[in-house]
Amino acid sequence: MGGAKAILTTIGNSAAIAAPMHALAPEGRLIVLSVGKDPLPVSTGYLVGA
């Protein structure tokens, strides 16, 4: 994995959103169209790394 240019999700479960993060390509986009009650458990390396 690691080649997705974008992941679009409408799921409100933060664990389910974080699971496919490793599938994003460098400079890929995660688009979340819902609100969950728990914070999104994502490593900062995914947010700032290219």
Report the SS3 class of residue 45: helix
Residue 37, CB-side half-sphere exposure with 13 Å CA sphere: 0
Cβ pair 40, 18 in contact under 8 A? yes
Name the pLDDT band for 50 (thresholds 50, 70, 90).
low
pLDDT at 8: 93
Distance CA 23, CA 4 (A): 6
> Pick the residue with more confidence: 46 or 5?
5
- pLDDT tens-digit profile of 21-36? 888 888 888 898 988 8
Distances (CA, A) of 14 to 3, 11, 33, 38: 22, 8, 12, 6
Cβ pair 7, 23 in contact under 8 A? yes
